[in-house]
Structure 1
Amino acid sequence: MKFVKSLAVAGLVLAVSATAASAETRVTYKSAKSSSSYYQMGVQIAEAMKAGSDGAVIVTVEESQGSVQNVMEVMGRKGNYVFTTPPALVGLAQGGKAMFEGKGNPRFDEIRALFPIPSLTMHFVMRADAGVSSFADLEGKTILLGKGSFGAKEGEKYLDLFGLKDKVTLADVELSNAVPALKNGQIDGFVTAGSYPAPNVIEAAAGTGVTVLSLSDDQIAQTKRARLVIPAGTYAGQDSDIVTTSLPVVAYTTTDMDDDTAYQLTKTFWEQKAKMGKDAAWWNGVDEDLMANIAGKIHPGAVKFYKEKGFALTDAQM
């Protein structure tokens, strides 16, 4: 009898364990290189999802070589695959254009947005004593753009757009050495793109004193990028808002994800965002206004949450 009773108890434990396992939702989150701030964001989101769902949602963060890879993997990924990318790349993939030319796939049409994450924000950082308060003042200055990154390519584009391409000296220094080069007078300024507040800008502002340039409305229009305001006080010595540009970044999934899971992920993200912002200030730049940057459709489960909270959505997003 004791043996039979023991079997019954063991069976009950297994049944409870199986029920708990089946109730657990597992999600794969594809972000960026492990050394990047966006990978750190992925880790923070994973922790927030676990905490906010009382362990019901478990997110595994995977390293990625970049946004294009994240989109391309949609072709072979099934289930609860979440990835980050600028909305523009989703549009290119769905249209088979640029880096996706000849690589079109019906799966790209199944991509759906969940929520925005911190944008890649352009910073034109000048040493405070360089006498630069506008882009016109850059003439004759030595600027570090870096190599190969979004910020470097974007910075070069802006210099060309604003008639400064041949009027500044480009320093042959790695972006990782920007702050020391600024401090020792080797350069007058550097260009960087990342979620704000950017660590290298914080360091430069605290140690050297800097001016981060603002763009005019006309200049922003020329760049064809989204307008973004970095609030006064974000960096040491910053007494007024900085008006700059950004490349929006969004967390996406596909129609493989069921509505309940998409709803839970979206709801938990927004509920945990303030807590994440206390640990990492870049989350404080994410708000309802960034929803306007989402081009294309939002997952129906996420739409349900946004409607409940009164978020403004466009017809194209639904």
Structure 2
Amino acid sequence: MKLLKAAGLLALGLMTATASQAETRVTYKSAKTSSSYYQMAVQIAEAMKAGTKGDVIVTVEESQGSVQNVMEAAVRPGNYVFTTPPVLVKLAQGGKAMFKDKSNPKFDEIRALFPIPSLTMHFVMRDDSGIKTFADMEGKKILIGKGSFGAREGAKYLGLFGLEGKVSLIDMELSNAVPALKNGQIDGFVTAGSWPAPNVIEAAAGTGVNVLSLTDDQIAKTKRTKLVIPAGTYAGQDKAISTTSLPVVAYTTTQMDNDTAYELTKTFWEQKAKMGSEAAWWKGVDKGLMSNITGKLHPGALKYYEEAGFPVTDAQR
């Protein structure tokens, strides 16, 4: 009986060890918990667990921003996944801008997995404000927020389009934009985020808004990526909106093995439709966003893309 009991315990131990070995754990460094990108990370974690039947477990970590995510890529071991605009990876690898004097050869080991929703600029104006073009913003009260990517881009665009000093910028947090628009405190606001943007949906449904389109010349001046928001995305929007975006991509490093990168990439695309049924921002992610990935794909991700017939450039291989 003692021998049988010992054998049973040994078998149980072996089964537990085998299950532990089969389970792959991944750390996903995202954004602040209050952001839509953190919500996306949670969705991805749930999708990975469901799509792999628990073989891949993703733990989401809060981040203070994309620069921190890239910096940690040089020191984090194992299966570290993080999100950032591709331009920051390029700057890190070149030791430029915010990465000046912070060069690290580990940055050259960063590899892309898959695109996620882009940061998309929205210039949201009250229907009754009379603002149909950027020129119409002169003399109007506009909220651009503080300290965020959208605030910096909004201020940059006002300068590029000859409106610096000609618009009354309201000193208020972006979180107050929708109620301020509804009660007439402002004529419009600028926001950046994945589309459809929750605050734009709320403003369009409750107040009636006009989301400005940029001309091709204006988009060229911004040096950002063009993005078209389809007609009907927001209430009352009967035409497509041409605007700018900052692509965002999920990256890892060469420390991740090929099988794990393959499984993550394959599961992401296979689960994307289900994620899109729960949150509309995933509907803006398709094969077309592959062109936004600069630099190399992880070999495991590349294997999936070649099998699935995705467009892949020589520079991404």
TM over 0.5, yes or no? yes
Tell me what 2:15 maps to. Answer: 16
User: Can you list the C-alpha shifts for 1:199-248, whole angstroms capped at 9, x where unaligned?
Assistant: 11111001100000001111111101011111111111111111100000
- Does 1:222 pair with 2:183? no
**Distance across 2 between alignment mates of 1:108 and 1:25:** 24
Tell me what 2:6 maps to. Answer: 7
The residue type equivalent to 1:304 in the other structure is K
Q: How many residues align?
A: 317
- Does 1:246 pair with 2:245? yes
**Distance across 2 between alignment mates of 1:149 and 1:35:** 13
Tell me what 2:170 maps to. Answer: 171
- Does 1:138 pair with 2:126? no
Q: Report deviation, 1:135.
A: 1.1
For structure 1, the 5+ residue unaligned runs are none
Tell me what 1:60 maps to. Answer: 59
- Does 1:256 pair with 2:268? no
Q: Report deviation, 1:144.
A: 0.4
Identical counterparts, % of pairs: 76
Correspondence 1:1-318 to 2 at 5 A? 2-318=1-317
Q: Report deviation, 1:156.
A: 0.5
Q: Match of 2:111, SS?
A: strand
The residue type equivalent to 1:118 in the other structure is P
User: Can you list the C-alpha shifts for 1:75-94, whole angstroms capped at 9, x where unaligned?
Assistant: 21011000000000000000
**Distance across 2 between alignment mates of 1:18 and 1:121:** 46
Q: Match of 2:42, SS?
A: helix
**Distance across 1 between alignment mates of 2:281 and 2:28:** 19
**Distance across 2 between alignment mates of 1:53 and 1:67:** 28
The residue type equivalent to 2:4 in the other structure is K
Q: Match of 1:104, SS?
A: coil
Q: Report deviation, 1:313.
A: 1.0
Q: Match of 1:316, SS?
A: helix
TM-score w.r.t. structure 1 length?
A: 0.99
For structure 2, the 5+ residue unaligned runs are none
**Distance across 2 between alignment mates of 1:132 and 1:120:** 23
Q: Match of 2:314, SS?
A: coil
The residue type equivalent to 1:22 in the other structure is Q
**Distance across 2 between alignment mates of 1:108 and 1:41:** 25
The residue type equivalent to 2:138 in the other structure is E
**Distance across 2 between alignment mates of 1:211 and 1:247:** 22
Q: Report deviation, 1:7.
A: 1.1
Q: Report deviation, 1:127.
A: 0.3
**Distance across 2 between alignment mates of 1:220 and 1:298:** 28
Structure 1 runs (4+) deviating above 2 angstroms are: none
User: Can you list the C-alpha shifts for 1:253-297, whole angstroms capped at 9, x where unaligned?
Assistant: 000001111000000000000000000110111011111011101
User: Can you list the C-alpha shifts for 1:173-194, whole angstroms capped at 9, x where unaligned?
Assistant: 1111101111111110000000
